[in-house]
């Protein structure tokens, strides 16, 4: 079973996060005022644009209808003078038509081929124009917003063309637009004032609550938030005050617990010191003396030339070394991390892996412990020792770059898996040769609890599987 690996999720769209970060730079008051001002501006500009567009369309339509009506009326009046070839009378009628309407620009009578026979201009234009097209082109360049309408003169007496400009009416539209913009500005100012008052009413209790929160965070549990109204913010203030009351009540309990914890730590420290003294005595009296004997026998072995004495000294060294090895193994089994008893297997493994990373920074180590509850001390100690020995072997012998640990429950058993990507070895050969005390120790611990330990190894890495039943009564060595 391979060790669990952690993958990276798909990155979220950064735009919502960027928008939240940007909006978070402003206060609630600034946000509300900005929203009101933005909505007022958008609505005002939208209404102004719609009104201006509608008025401009209406002006153009009405001006065209008006020009066509005047042109039909003038065409009726110039029909008789044209029939009588009274050019002066035609010009007089055209002058009266142009002068009697404020928006008039020109009036002209032309034959069917476009040659003008009579014309009148408001600006007294005396520029000769041979054809109607030339006059229309020139006036379109000179007069902005020109509307020209041509109607026939009955019976077949030519065309009457009448031109009007929408300049005056457009000025009226511009004036109305300016008034609407000023109204929008006034409404926006009123909206900002109203939003300012509203935000003051809304944020005042929030600011008071934040101020009270700061006091509580500094240790002043007597501070209470003012309940200004029975709304959502008032409910929040009441909940906050209730929380502070509970916090103040629990402070005494926490202080008492802290005192108990301090006494417990003192007892633990004393017990640790006693254990260290015992181990120091064991090392001095046992291992130290054995090593001294080895050193003396080695010195005598170096000085003698007699074969029997060399064999005797060699045997003494071998015996002392074996005795020293037994004592070291016993001391190693007696050592035990206190965090395993205090916090449990998960915390102990987390701490051990963290220390492993510090000792072996070239190896990437990770641990995944999925245990809903504490296990029995025997099982936790056994699994901790198995993981400890396996990772120690990884650091010493495997040459691996990564190692992962997985602890979890499976069908009434707890399983520990330690996997690395090192060089690998032959587990059967190691066990048969008796060279690996660590592997033998792991197997012995697991089997004492009725479990089993398997090792799979190849050129691509090694995996250690340890499985122990949850309900065990056999005591394992610590």
Q: Are 164 and 106 in contact (CB under 8 A)?
A: no
How far, CA to CA in Å, does 88 sit from each of 21, 45, 84? 81, 53, 11
Q: What does the pLDDT average to over 127-154?
A: 80
Over residues 254-269, the mean pLDDT reads: 64
Of 192 and 269, the structure prediction assigns the larger pLDDT to 192
Rounded-to-integer distance, Cα 463 and Cα 457, Å: 6
Q: Work out the average pLDDT over 389-410.
A: 86
pLDDT over 50 (residue 412): yes
* Average confidence (pLDDT) over 364-380: 86
> Mean pLDDT for the chain?
79
pLDDT value at residue 303: 75
How many C-beta atoms lie closer than 10 Å to residue 361's C-beta? 9
Rg (CA), the chain: 51
Q: Which tens digit of pLDDT belongs to each residue from 193-248? A: 887 887 777 777 777 877 888 887 887 777 777 777 777 777 877 888 888 888 87
Residues 226 and 238: their CA atoms lie apart, in Å, by 8
How far is residue 31's CA from residue 152's CA, in Å, rounded to a whole number? 65
Q: Quick one: pLDDT at residue 2?
A: 44
Residue 457 is classified by DSSP as E
Comparing CA positions, the residue from 445, 452, 451 lying closest to residue 475 is 445
Bridge partners (DSSP) listed for residue 146 = 165
pLDDT over 80 at 28, yes or no: no
pLDDT band at 134 (very low <50, low <70, confident <90, very high): confident
In this structure, of 37-41, 213-217, 251-255, 351-355, the range with the lowest mean pLDDT score is 251-255
- Across the range 321-340, mean pLDDT stands at 67
All residues at 6 or more sequence positions from 421 whose CB lies less than 8 Å from its CB, including other chains: 400, 401, 402, 460, 461
Burial class (CB in 10 A: 0-12, 13-18, 19+), 322: exposed
Q: Residue 158's pLDDT is what?
A: 83
pLDDT reported for residue 100: 86
- Helix (H) / strand (E) element for 25: namely none
pLDDT given at position 6: 43
pLDDT in tens, 170-204: 888 888 889 888 888 888 888 888 878 877 777 77
Other C-beta atoms lying within 10 Å of the C-beta of residue 1: 12
| Higher per-residue pLDDT: 308 or 90 | 90
What would be the CATH architecture of the domain defined by 340-469?
A: 2-Layer Sandwich (3.30)
- The confidence band for 1, taking pLDDT boundaries of 50, 70 and 90, is very low
Lowest-confidence region among 91-105, 301-315, 326-340, 377-391? 326-340
Q: What is the mean pLDDT of residues 347-373?
A: 86
Q: Band of the pLDDT at 335, cuts 50, 70, 90?
A: low
Strand positions, DSSP E, 49-193: 104-110, 116-121, 146-152, 159-165
Q: Would you say 254 and 261 are in contact if contact means Cβ atoms under 8 Å apart?
A: no
Instruction: Quickly count: other Cβ atoms within 10 Å of residue 397's Cβ.
Output: 15
Confidence of residue 267 (pLDDT cuts 50, 70, 90): low
Contacts of 25 (CB under 8 A, 6+ apart): none
Q: What is the pLDDT of residue 104?
A: 87
Q: Helices 87-99 and 28-83 meet at what angle, rounded to 10? A: 160
Q: How far is CA 249 from the centre of its chain?
A: 37
Domain map (residue ranges) of the chain:
24-50+178-212, 55-170, 340-469
The CATH fold assigned to 55-170 is Beta-Lactamase (3.30.450)
Q: Write out pLDDT tens, residues 421-468.
A: 888 887 777 666 555 556 777 787 788 888 988 888 888 888 999 999
Q: Is the pLDDT of residue 152 over 70?
A: yes
Q: Is the dihedral of CA 214, 215, 218, 222 positive or negative?
A: negative
pLDDT tier for residue 378 given thresholds of 50, 70 and 90: confident
Q: Across residues 36-52, what is the average pLDDT?
A: 87
Question: By C-alpha distance, which of 413, 421, 356 is closest to 389?
Answer: 356
Percent of the chain clearing pLDDT 70 (strictly above): 83
pLDDT of residue 295: 77
pLDDT at 12: 47
Count CB-CB contacts under 10 A for residue 448.
16
pTM: predicted TM-score of the whole model, two decimal places: 0.41
Which pLDDT score, from 0 to 100, does residue 224 have? 79
């Amino acid at each position: 079973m391979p060790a669990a690996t952690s993958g990276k999720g798909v990155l979220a769209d950064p735009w919502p996060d960027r928008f939240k970060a940007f909006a978070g730079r402003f206060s609630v008051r600034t946000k509300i005022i900005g929203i009101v001002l933005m909505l007022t501006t958008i609505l005002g500009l939208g209404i102004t644009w719609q009104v201006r567009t509608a008025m401009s369309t209406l002006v153009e339509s009405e001006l065209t209808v008006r020009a066509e009506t005047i042109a039909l009326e003038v065409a009726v009046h110039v029909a008789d003078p044209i029939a009588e070839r009274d050019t002066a009378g035609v010009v007089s009628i055209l002058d009266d038509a142009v002068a009697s309407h404020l928006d008039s620009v020109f009036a002209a009578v032309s034959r069917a081929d476009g040659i003008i026979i009579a014309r009148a201009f408001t600006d007294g234009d005396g520029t000769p124009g041979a054809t109607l097209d030339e006059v229309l082109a020139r006036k379109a360049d000179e007069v902005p917003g020109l509307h020209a309408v041509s109607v026939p003169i009955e019976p077949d007496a030519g065309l009457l063309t009448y031109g009007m400009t929408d300049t005056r009416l457009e000025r009226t539209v511009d004036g109305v637009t300016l008034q609407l913009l000023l109204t929008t500005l006034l409404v926006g100012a009123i909206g900002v004032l109203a939003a300012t008052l509203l935000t003051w009413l809304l944020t005042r209790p929030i600011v008071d609550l934040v101020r009270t929160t700061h006091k509580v965070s500094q240790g002043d549990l007597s501070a209470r938030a003012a309940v200004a109204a029975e709304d959502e913010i008032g409910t929040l203030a009441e909940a906050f005050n209730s929380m502070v009351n509970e916090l103040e009540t629990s402070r005494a309990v926490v202080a008492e617990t802290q005192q108990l914890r301090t006494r417990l730590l003192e007892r633990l420290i004393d017990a640790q010191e006693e254990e260290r003294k015992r181990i120091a005595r064991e090392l001095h009296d046992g291992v130290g003396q054995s090593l001294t004997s080895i050193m003396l026998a080695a010195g005598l072995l170096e000085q003698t030339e007699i074969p029997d004495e060399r064999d005797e000294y060699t045997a003494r060294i071998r015996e002392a070394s074996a005795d020293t090895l037994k004592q070291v193994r016993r001391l190693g089994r007696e050592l035990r991390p206190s965090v395993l008893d205090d916090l449990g297997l998960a915390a102990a493994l987390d701490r051990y892996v963290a220390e492993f990373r510090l000792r072996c920074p070239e190896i990437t180590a990770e641990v995944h412990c999925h245990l809903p509850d504490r296990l029995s001390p025997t099982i936790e100690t056994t699994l901790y020792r198995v993981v400890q020995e396996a990772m120690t072997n990884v650091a010493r012998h495997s040459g691996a770059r990564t190692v992962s640990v997985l602890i979890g429950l499976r069908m009434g058993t707890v399983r520990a898996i330690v996997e690395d990507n090192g060089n690998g070895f032959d587990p059967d050969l190691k066990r048969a040769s008796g060279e690996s005390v660590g592997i033998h120790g792991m197997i012995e611990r697991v089997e004492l609890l009725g479990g089993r330990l398997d090792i799979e190894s190849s050129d691509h890495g090694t995996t250690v599987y340890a499985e122990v039943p949850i309900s065990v009564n056999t005591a394992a060595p610590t």
